[in-house]
Amino acid sequence: MKAKKNIVIVGVGLIGGSFALRCRSLGWAQTLIGVDNNPHHAQQAIELGLVDTMATLEEAIPKADLIVLAIPVNAVPTVLQSVLDAIEDQVVMDMGSTKSQIISAVEHHPKRGRFLASHPMWGTEYSGPSAAVDNAFQGKAVIFCDAEKTDADARAHAASLFSDLGMRIIEMGAVEHDLHAAYVSHISHITSFALANTVLEKEKEGEAIFEMASAGFESTVRLAKSSPAMWTPILMQNKENVLDVLNEHISQLRKFKSCLEKENWEYLNELIVNANQIKRIIH
């Protein structure tokens, strides 16, 4: 049995709360300490049993063996620098959806080796402590970015931890990660936000949406319920990659629009047949 650790979760929401739940289920934690600047979330995290106690970051760091940052990506660089300034040899991880700006912010920090940039590829459209799900990460991938810059012991500790979570580990550079994330995650959210705005604009009363909404519509637009506090910073930090993907997406939409305008049904069918090739990736 592994030695139990004092684990600090900074940001006890969907990701941080789900991680805390699993730590508790697996019996890893001697103490789970939450840090959250939202008083309502802090109270919820205690009431839901996600953490044992809440503390300030300054209070929590000296007690920690492992510090996990699960906060919006725009807050990570500043908080991460403060954490690295204060630690001795603890392991620090973030779980953000973008990586280049975060890693650049601490590139020359003397404690850089104690930090691992990780991105568990899991999430839902919900947010806050009440959205936390036990066993959420089972069977999913986690990306380690620029892991060669992390000390070997810290890297091994994180690898063991995520393996116990049932995750498969993929290593890549931060630049490569941010490009791929734009394609497989970030564009999906923009599309969902845009579709929701389109429908809300056309269906002013809203009654028809509720009457006619099918499972297909719900699955396509569900990401539009995602937290603005989380997603605005993600799109800001990954702007160039997202713009590149968005330009291609708009080009594809124009093809469908042109087919309908010109009644080019043969090409419309070809576009759909070509799109069906996604079955090779998503079953």
**Where among 173, 189, 224 does a domain terminate?**
173
Q: Do 38 and 161 fall into the same domain?
A: yes
Kindly report, residue by residue over 57-96, the tens digit of the pLDDT.
Answer: 999 999 999 999 999 999 999 999 999 999 999 999 999 9
Q: Do 68 and 118 fall into the same domain?
A: yes
pLDDT at residue 207, as a whole number = 66
**Where among 173, 203, 234 does a domain terminate?**
173
CATH of the domain at 213: 1.10.3660.10
Kindly report, residue by residue over 157-216, the tens digit of the pLDDT.
Answer: 999 999 999 999 999 999 999 999 999 999 999 999 999 898 888 776 666 666 666 667
pLDDT at residue 53, as a whole number = 97
CATH of the domain at 120: 3.40.50.720
Q: Do 74 and 108 fall into the same domain?
A: yes
Range of the domain at 200: 177-280
**Where among 153, 173, 193 does a domain terminate?**
173
Q: Do 139 and 245 fall into the same domain?
A: no
Rounded percentage of the chain residues whose pLDDT exceeds 90: 82
Q: How many domains does the chain have?
A: 2
Q: Do 158 and 210 fall into the same domain?
A: no
The answer to whether residue 269 scores a pLDDT higher than 70 is yes
For residues 174 and 103, the answer to whether their CB atoms sit within 8 Å is: yes
pLDDT at residue 220, as a whole number = 81
